[in-house]
Structure 1
Amino acid sequence: MAARKKGPNTAQAVRELAQPLAEELGLQLWDVRFVKEGADWYLRIYIDKEGGISIDDCVNMTHAVDKPLDALDAVAGSYTLEVSSPGINRQLTRPEHFAACIGRLVWVRFIRPFADGSREVIGTLAAYKDAAMTLQNEQGETMTVPTADTAWVKLYDDDDGGNHENE
């Protein structure tokens, strides 16, 4: 197994490689993650575009990134490459994600529970600035939360009946 190269982490190096390739294909690079599940490593590239993506978009991005990834040699050892949509309940992780989703309903899980014991809130993303988001509830009340205090933030799709147990 080759040693990892110094410099940006694997996901960041792949992001830098994949960004212009996605743009050439008319796609938005939503996220790149390099994760270990069990004994296996997965390099996941999430893409999006206005109107949603198709399987052909995923195939085209896979083909576009495959050889440049091998040449970059940013990943030590074997891994599985997956290219897909970030999904309806996509996770917001980068400032541009928050900016693009202002006015949308989000589901937030906090690292620590509130005084009432709850760890989650659903509200409209009203603003995002300096790594903090402002949420507005149905009554129009707002709360500002640093993203560092959250376990995750996802778009909320209430069309699925609110069944989010396994997320």
Structure 2
Amino acid sequence: MSTQQEKKISNFIEPVIADLGYELVALRVIGSQKLQTLQIMAEDPTTRTLDLNGCTKISRAVSAILDVEDPFASPYQLEVSSPGIDRPLVRARDFESNIGFEATIETQTPAENGQKKYRGKILSFTGDMVTLSTDTGEEEIELADIVKAKLVLTDELIKANQSKRPKQQEQIQEQQEE
């Protein structure tokens, strides 16, 4: 769930990141009023990774737009990173592309039994519903009700990401040659 400030910042930095050929995955503002930190997670849509060069490009471009828009009343820090292997699940396609992997999901609205936190394997994503296989059965959760969701670091997830590596390295090399 994003704050108004996060939504406002996202609206003006997302096009900047897209112009660089990357996608904004997640954005958070954390810290106190005295010193806030803007955390940005982005990725290359073709490789689903972000290398140091990409972090640098995004950081410089976002810093420039933040200087113009000035969304912070006090000093702030900027952090740019890749989503990582145990990435947050924010967009519909994050769930679609991670079917079969384990995730934790926290909802805004409690279920009839009061439960708001779930852990299980993503079985499907249809329309705006995530189906999760948990220890107690299948749970259907609306995307709009999700406050926080993240992949769980498992051996299965690590193996899947390792098998993608050679293909990703090939794509990165091709991009650098262009």
Q: 1:160 Cα deviation (Å)?
A: 8.2
AA matched with 1:108: T
Question: How far apart are the structure 2 equivalents of 1:107 and 1:147?
Answer: 14
TM-score when normalising by structure 1: 0.70
Correspondent of 2:13 among 15, 18, 21:
18
TM-score when normalising by structure 2: 0.67
Q: CA RMSD in A?
A: 3.4
Question: How far apart are the structure 1 equivalents of 2:14 and 2:80?
Answer: 13
Question: How far apart are the structure 2 equivalents of 1:161 and 1:145?
Answer: 22
Alignment gaps of 5+ in structure 2: 159-178
Structure number with the higher helix fraction is 2
CA contact (8 A) 2:40 2:80 kept: yes
Q: 1:143 Cα deviation (Å)?
A: 3.0
Cα distance change on mapping 1:125 and 1:60 into 2, 3 Å = farther
Correspondent of 1:31 among 21, 26, 40:
26
Alignment gaps of 5+ in structure 1: 1-7, 163-167
Question: How far apart are the structure 2 equivalents of 1:32 and 1:110?
Answer: 17
CA contact (8 A) 2:101 2:156 kept: no
Match of 1:144 in 2: 140
1:105-152 CA distances to partner (integer Å, 9 max, x unpaired)? Answer: 13124566997x9x542212411433x311247xxx743123576663
AA matched with 1:61: I
Matching of residues 57-76 of structure 1 within 5 Å: 57-76=54-73
Question: How far apart are the structure 2 equivalents of 1:20 and 1:124?
Answer: 30
Correspondent of 1:153 among 149, 153, 161:
149
Question: How far apart are the structure 1 equivalents of 2:8 and 2:93?
Answer: 18
Report the count of equivalent residues.
150
Q: 1:104 Cα deviation (Å)?
A: 4.2
AA matched with 2:8: A
Question: How far apart are the structure 2 equivalents of 1:42 and 1:107?
Answer: 26
Match of 2:120 in 1: 122
The percent of aligned pairs where both chains have the same amino acid is 24
